[in-house]
Amino acid sequence: LGTLTIVSCSFLSEKLTCFTSLAICFWYFVLHQENLDVSLFCTVVYVASYLPHRYHFVNQYKTWTEGQSYCRQTFTDLATINNPEEMNMVKSMLQNKVGRVWIGLNRVDGQKWLWSLEDGSSFINGQSYNNWYTGEPNNGLNRNSCVFLWGSDGNWVDDDCTNVYNFVCYTGKNMHFVCKNSRMKQF
């Protein structure tokens, strides 16, 4: 497997993955590898199933759908925010920016909230991490189906998808790992 190195999780690299579990950060070279022998890792620490995203502010005004297309062509997709740590990363990136900024949360057919991901990952209000502004989502005028960040707290507000705002994209992908017979496979 190689040498295990414990480093600060604030260090980011495209070739490294930070597994955060039990307040311990382990970095592994996992990209471009089919099988990793992680028997020691699997017996000592729970394997996290998520790779952190790298966020990118785009200083262009676009509708939500245009922003989604731009992000998918240039990066991976519009930003998904799955936990407070990711919210803090986005807020830190946006601290000197003002105005409204699209993220990848939208309501499909006025019903179910989904993240802008090809796998159709659901957002379940009350069960998924959220940062809704007080009284949101309010579905004003029955047209609101996309979400922007607003204010220094990065509060989430639903709005008409045809409005034009700056937006946040991310690079990276969710990867899931399963320990089985002392081998870890990416799928």
Q: Is the pLDDT at 138 greater than 60, yes or no?
A: yes
* pLDDT at residue 11 tops 60: no
User: In terms of domains, do 59 and 148 share one?
Assistant: yes
Please give the Cα distance from 105 to 78 (Å, whole number).
8
| Residue 2 included in any domain | no
Task: Give domain status of residue 87, yes or no.
Answer: yes
147 shares a domain with 129 = yes
* 21 and 83 fall within a common domain: no
Question: Do residue 40 and residue 83 come from a single domain?
Answer: no
Please tell me the pTM assigned to this model: 0.65
Residue 142 confidence (pLDDT) above 60: yes
Phi-psi group of 153: left, alpha or beta (phi > 0 → left; psi -120 to 50 → alpha; rest → beta): alpha
- Residue 30: pLDDT band with limits 50, 70, 90: very low
The residues, ordered by sequence, that sit 6+ positions from 117 with a Cβ below 8 Å of its Cβ are: 77, 80, 104, 174
Q: What is the pLDDT of residue 120?
A: 66
* Overall average pLDDT of the 65-92 stretch: 94
Average pLDDT over residues 63-75: 97
Average pLDDT of the chain to the nearest whole number = 72
- Enumerate residues 6+ apart whose C-beta is below 8 A from 183: 35, 36, 37, 38, 39
More confident of the two residues 144 and 60:
60
Query: Can you give the residue range of the structural domain that contains 21?
Result: 17-51+173-186
8 found inside a domain: no
pLDDT at 117: 83
* Least confident stretch, 23-27, 31-35, 39-43, 55-59: 23-27
Tokens of 102: 């699209």
Note whether 102 and 58 are same-domain residues: yes
Please compute the mean of the pLDDT values over residues 143-153 and round it to a whole number: 86
Q: How many domains, the chain?
A: 2
Same domain, 39 and 99: no
Examine the domain organization and report whether 37 and 90 are in the same domain.
no
User: Residue 1: its pLDDT value, please?
Assistant: 44
Name the pLDDT band for 3 (thresholds 50, 70, 90). very low
Q: What is the pLDDT of residue 52?
A: 67
More confident residue, 13 or 114: 114
Would you state the structure tokens that stand for residue 183, as one six-digit string? 């081998």
Beta carbons of 149 and 103 less than 8 angstroms apart: yes
Is residue 149 in some structural domain? yes
Same domain, 97 and 121: yes
- Whether pLDDT at 99 is above 50: yes
* 21 and 99 share one domain: no
Are 143 and 74 contained in the same domain? yes
CATH code (residue 138): 3.10.100.10
Same domain? 59 vs 143? yes
Residue 11 within a domain: no
